[in-house]
Amino acid sequence: MFLWIFCLLPVCIAQEPVSIKVDVSLVNVAFIVRDGAGALASGLGKEDIEIYEDGVKQDVRFFGRSADTPLSLAVLLDVSGSQDHFIKQHNHDLERFLGAALSRRDQALAVCFGNHLRLVSDFSNSPQAVMEAVARFGKGDRHYPELDPDETRAGGTALFDAVHAVATGKLGAVAGGRQAILLFSDGEDNSSAHDLMDAIADAQNVDAPIYTVRYTEPSRHGRLTSRNRYGIKEMERLARETGGAAFDAAQQGVGESLKQVAEELRSIYDIGYVSNNPARDGSFRKVSIRVKRPGYVARSKTGYFAK
């Protein structure tokens, strides 16, 4: 961005104002840290962290924990045909999570998506209000605003479009605080105008980690199909590239998984630096964080596009 500073000198003769043009390329990165035992690490300071862009160490301009800053959470619920058997479980798991994770200063929205993206609840700090809206949708109420309408979608699941819509729209309009996306799906997109890399880049751009909770229905023989395996990889990559985490509802227990998500969202660190590469050429910049304490590991988005 460009900052213009005008200095008017107190002299008797009128003078032209002096203008200074400063080009600032500020990069924000949210991250969590776990120690050698896998526990979330608290009490780290700026001196414990180094951050690199494309392998080059960067000068840290600010550092802090965001536990005391408000959270804006976008919940994306897959309501396509492949998730019919899991809708009630989605809602049960989500209700418990919101009750435990949201404080009065936090806010959450809910989007139900299949072939259409419905904003069933705009930002609210009331878990009950969010769940009541989701319940009304489940009973057939479709009188909700549609995000990113597209009549050309031919399939039944526009997962990537859903991520794109909330990242570039609702989350992109939030000023300050923590942001995150919680996605319930099997990961099998067959309808989006946007692709996987678009969804990842959009979430990286607003520094919103994606936490994926995967409900996959295998074939009648109990085996994963090629479509199942595709969905697994897509959900894992959405999480990995944005600094979130991927969970399998069948293997890990959703209650414990969402408890982990809530704990991480309260343990996020923030770091900011001015990139030593001022070019805005659209290229991907790889970001990595190193913790100086032995055994400690940081997790964040893998980078960003310098648009």
Residues in the chain: 307
Mean per-residue pLDDT for 251-279? Answer: 88
pLDDT score of 23? 42
SS3 51: strand
SS3 2: strand
pLDDT score of 100? 83
Q: What are the pLDDT digits (tens) for 194-241?
A: 999 999 999 999 999 999 998 877 666 678 888 888 999 999 999 999
Q: Where are the chain's structural domains?
A: 27-66+268-305, 71-265
pLDDT score of 4? 43
Categorize the per-residue pLDDT at 3 as very low, low, confident or very high, splitting at 50, 70 and 90: very low
Contact 268, 178 (CB under 8 A): yes
pLDDT at 130 > cutoff 80? yes
- Dihedral of CA 226/230/235/236: which sign? positive
Q: Which fold has domain 71-265?
A: Rossmann fold (3.40.50)
Q: pTM, whole model, 2 decimals?
A: 0.87
pLDDT score of 16? 43
pLDDT at 152 > cutoff 90? no
Q: What are the pLDDT digits (tens) for 56-96?
A: 999 999 898 866 688 999 999 998 877 666 777 777 888 88
The residue that leads in pLDDT, 27 or 155, is 27
SS3 305: strand
Neighbouring CB atoms inside 10 A of 104's CB total 8
Taking every pair of C-alpha atoms in the chain, what is the biggest distance, in angstroms?
Answer: 90
SS3 193: coil
| Alpha-carbon gap, residue 91 to 224, rounded angstroms | 24
Alpha-helical runs (H) found in the chain: 87-101, 127-138, 159-165, 196-205, 226-242, 249-252, 254-265
